[in-house]
């Protein structure tokens, strides 16, 4: 039969789950995005009623293929008996320190072990018993990864469930981090005695079809990462861009002969402008009311035009971008993000992030007028996506939701993802044989020569091998890698990972006043322009800030899209905002907010009612203070 299934494969090939400290009840977790541009919208928001962050689950599906490589259908519990098997680990504390990306030939700094004094390295690796699950709507204690230990203390890493179709649902850890000696964290990535509860590992499945055929599915990987604090915002360079660029360079995939403006060019520009909601420098340069607001419909119309009269503008925008193949130091070029060299080297090309070679080639072709303007179809659900495109859509969406740099070290996944040795085929990692434990001893110093050799640590992915390259614990890196480390610059730029780790944000208080029609337009614009430090409640001293982040990360607001009122102050205010929401224990406006509301109603006969009630003798908020800038290479 032409539609006979001869092969099955798990998708997404790399699934992304995110930690959360809310108990994962019926409505207290949500499935991560499965379609490009889709933003999750969990009931009640991204936090529960107690202000705890909900977990993002990764959902895995199985697709059946015929002998010609065509997708026949998704395989569910209605078509087959599916036995899912998952093995995860957290290897961070038993791995090597992060200095910089070890694939930077000639510039990488060899690394020694974390927790060097601990001789029994196995005690540093959280390695729970592998689990299996099958059937529909399965869950419970027997599917929890809760018997792994760190230095003798059990550390839960997550659990398995299935949905109503028998698809696998993976939930990660609680976002908890601790030191077994109760030592304070002191640095951004290499805190000895500490562990966290992120993880990663292979996802496997055995499929028994109704006709009795038994097939082993091509395995996938799951990675548990920190929360997404910028919902609906994306990196100018995503992890998908990085992996796609590597795949093109290896001739594994072919890029289109001509880019399409809306599919390949506009996302680069639009994402840079959307970063205005999480970084004040981006707001000034690329945000609302800026001549370089790449989400302005009038500007988009010009940039998407193939008319000769608009060529000058396309070329001007193209020339603003940093050439990824250039060795020149060009800090005034864009995008204004730190690069892989930042912290170790100065005034070198890789001090700043470049778009990928493929992205740059697309921009170059666009500037020359060689592009199309076919608007891609946007889907709301995976079921709307053509069957043949569903598997890749799942993988692309998961990778697009992760940042593609800078890798110093990174937040979700990091530099090994751009190394060809990691990959079995386009977008599917080389996964170790089932039961194989990753090697942890590669000598006293881990160097470029070791990691890039054919049989080195990148040769096969297994439990814990993707997240081990990241900082420990994750909270210290997020509270360290912000923006504007040179306080003498005009703008707080460059930035690190603003789309996931915001720098400066528009508060809910500012949003309420900026969108209130009764407030004079000039005053509304003041509120709109005012940005506050996202970490403003965690103190100014560096060690105080990173340790507060470890304890109170779930207090932070999550940046979520809100719609403004119809009245847009004569076109000066946007229709859509990304606003800091659910900032725990600081939701009550403080006295300064009450003062500005009173001032705005000074001349009215009936001023607005008092907007807040301060408890007698008890401050309900911490005063906002300017952040003291600490060079990252001194952390």
Three-state secondary structure call for residue 368: coil
Q: Which residues of the chain have pLDDT under 70?
A: 1-2, 564-566, 587, 607, 609-635
Question: Considering just the CA atoms, what is the radius of gyration of the chain in Å?
Answer: 25
Q: 429 forms bridges with which residues in the sheet? A: 423
Output the pLDDT for position 605.
75
- The closest alpha carbon to 428, from 593, 215, 243, 251, belongs to 243
Three-state secondary structure call for residue 608: coil
Q: What stretch of H or E contains 273?
A: helix 266-274
Three-state secondary structure call for residue 347: coil
Q: How far apart are CA 68 and CA 2, in angstroms?
A: 9
Q: How far apart are CA 269 and CA 252, in angstroms?
A: 27
Contact 632, 188 (CB under 8 A): yes
- The closest alpha carbon to 631, from 414, 337, 352, 342, belongs to 342
Q: Residues 297, 303, 305, 309: what is their CA dihedral angle, to the nearest 10 degrees?
A: 120
Q: How many Å separate Cα 80 from the centre of its chain? A: 34
- The closest alpha carbon to 265, from 141, 332, 358, belongs to 358
- The closest alpha carbon to 86, from 115, 111, 110, 57, belongs to 57
Phi then psi dihedrals of residue 537, to 5 deg: -90, 0
Contact 354, 364 (CB under 8 A): no
Output the pLDDT for position 632.
46
Question: Percentages helix, strand, coil for the chain, rounded to the nearest 5?
Answer: 25, 20, 55
End-to-end CA distance of the chain: 63
Q: How far is CA 21 from CA 58, 224, 238, 371, 531, in A?
A: 16, 13, 26, 46, 28
Q: How many Å separate Cα 434 from the centre of its chain? A: 28
Provide the CB-side half-sphere exposure for 453 (13 A, CA): 9
Q: What is the number of other CB atoms lying within 10 angstroms of the CB of residue 78?
A: 10
What are the helix (H) ranges across 304-410? 311-318, 357-367, 390-400
Q: What angle do CA 39, 337, 583 make, to 5 degrees?
A: 45
Phi then psi dihedrals of residue 213, to 5 deg: -65, 135
- The closest alpha carbon to 32, from 17, 21, 47, 19, belongs to 17
DSSP 28-86: SEEEPP-STT-----TT-SB-TTSPBPEEEEEEEEEEE-TTS-EEEEE-TTTEEEEEEE
Name residue, tokens 């799942």. 394
Q: How many Å separate Cα 268 from the centre of its chain? A: 16
Tell which phi-psi region holds residue 571, choosing left (phi > 0), alpha (psi between -120 and 50) or beta. Answer: left
Three-state secondary structure call for residue 160: strand
Q: Residues 540, 544, 546, 549: what is their CA dihedral angle, to the nearest 10 degrees?
A: -90
Three-state secondary structure call for residue 480: helix
Each residue's pLDDT tens digit, 496-546: 999 999 999 999 999 999 999 899 999 999 999 999 999 999 999 999 999
Q: 144 forms bridges with which residues in the sheet? A: 159
177-214 in b/e burial notation, b at 16+ Cβ within 10 A? bbbbeeeebebbbbbbbbbbbbbbbbbbbbbebeeeee
Q: What stretch of H or E contains 245?
A: helix 239-249
Strands 220-225 and 14-18 turn out to be parallel
Q: How far apart are CA 191 and CA 180, in angstroms?
A: 11
Q: How far apart are CA 476 and CA 635, in angstroms?
A: 10
**CB under 8 Å to 314, separation ≥6 — which residues?**
303, 366, 367, 369
DSSP letter for 432, please.
P
Q: Residues 453, 109, 465, 13: what is their CA dihedral angle, to the nearest 10 degrees?
A: -80
Structure tokens at 294: 């790449």
Q: What is the number of other CB atoms lying within 10 angstroms of the CB of residue 149?
A: 15
DSSP 106-148: TTPPPBPBTTTT-S-GGGGSB-PPPEEEESSS--SGGGEE---
């Amino acid at each position: 039969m032409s539609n006979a299934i001869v092969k099955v494969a798990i998708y997404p090939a790399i699934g992304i789950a995110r930690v959360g400290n809310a108990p994962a009840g019926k409505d207290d977790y949500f499935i991560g995005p499965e379609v490009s541009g889709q933003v999750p919208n969990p009931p009640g928001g991204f936090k529960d009623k107690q202000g705890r962050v909900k977990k993002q689950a990764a959902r895995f599906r199985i697709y059946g293929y015929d002998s010609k490589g065509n997708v026949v259908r998704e395989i569910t519990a209605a078509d087959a008996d599916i036995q899912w098997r998952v093995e995860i680990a957290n290897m961070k504390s038993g791995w090597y320190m992060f200095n910089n990306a070890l694939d930077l030939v000639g510039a990488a700094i060899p690394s020694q072990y974390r927790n060097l004094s601990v001789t029994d390295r196995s005690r540093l690796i959280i390695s729970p018993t592998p689990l299996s699950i099958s059937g529909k709507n399965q869950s419970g204690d027997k599917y929890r990864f809760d018997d792994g230990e760190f230095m003798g203390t059990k550390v839960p890493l997550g659990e398995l469930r299935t949905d109503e179709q028998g698809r696998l649902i993976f939930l990660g850890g609680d976002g908890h981090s601790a030191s077994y000696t109760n030592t304070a964290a002191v640095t951004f990535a290499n805190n000895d005695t500490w562990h966290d509860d992120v993880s990663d590992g292979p996802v496997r499945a055995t499929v028994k079809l109704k006709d009795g055929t038994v097939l082993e599915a091509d395995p996938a990987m799951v990675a548990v990462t920190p929360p997404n604090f910028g919902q609906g915002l994306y990196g100018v360079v995503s992890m998908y861009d990085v992996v796609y660029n590597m795949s093109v360079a290896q001739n594994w995939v072919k890029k289109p002969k001509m880019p399409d403006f809306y599919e390949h060019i506009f996302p680069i520009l639009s994402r840079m402008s959307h970063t205005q909601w999480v970084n004040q420098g981006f707001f000034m340069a690329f945000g609302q009311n800026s001549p370089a607001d790449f989400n302005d419909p009038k500007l988009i119309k010009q940039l998407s035009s193939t008319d000769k009269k608009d060529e000058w503008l396309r070329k001007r925008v193209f020339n603003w971008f940093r050439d990824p193949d250039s060795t020149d130091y060009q800090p005034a070029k864009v995008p204004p993000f730190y690069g892989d060299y930042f912290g170790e080297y100065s005034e070198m090309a890789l001090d700043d992030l470049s778009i990928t070679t493929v992205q740059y080639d697309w921009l170059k072709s666009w500037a020359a007028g060689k592009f199309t303007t076919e608007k891609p179809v946007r889907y709301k659900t995976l079921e709307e996506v053509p069957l043949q495109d569903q598997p890749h859509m799942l993988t692309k969406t998961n990778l697009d939701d992760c940042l593609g740099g800078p890798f110093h070290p990174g937040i979700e996944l990091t530099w090994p993802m751009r190394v060809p040795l990691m990959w079995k085929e386009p977008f599917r990692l080389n996964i170790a044989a089932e039961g194989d434990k990753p090697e942890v001893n590669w000598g006293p110093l881990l160097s470029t020569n070791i990691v890039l050799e054919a049989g080195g640590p990148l040769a096969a992915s297994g439990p814990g091998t993707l997240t081990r390259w990241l900082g420990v614990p994750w909270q210290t890196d997020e509270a360290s890698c912000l923006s504007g480390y040179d306080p003498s610059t005009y703008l707080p730029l460059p930035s690190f990972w603003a789309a996931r780790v915001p720098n400066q944000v528009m508060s809910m208080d500012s949003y309420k006043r900026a969108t209130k029609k009764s407030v004079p337009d000039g005053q509304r614009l003041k509120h709109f322009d005012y940005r506050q430090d996202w970490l403003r409640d965690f103190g100014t001293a560096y060690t105080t800030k990173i340790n507060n982040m470890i304890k109170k990360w779930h207090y932070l607001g999550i940046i979520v899209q809100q719609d403004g009122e119809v009245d847009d102050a004569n076109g000066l205010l946007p229709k859509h905002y990304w606003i800091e929401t659910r900032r725990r224990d600081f939701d009550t406006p403080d006295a300064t907010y009450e003062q500005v509301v009173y001032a705005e109603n000074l001349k009215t006969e009936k001023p607005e009612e008092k907007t807040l009630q301060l408890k007698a003798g008890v401050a309900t908020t911490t005063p906002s203070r300017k952040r003291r800038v600490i060079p990252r290479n001194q952390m």
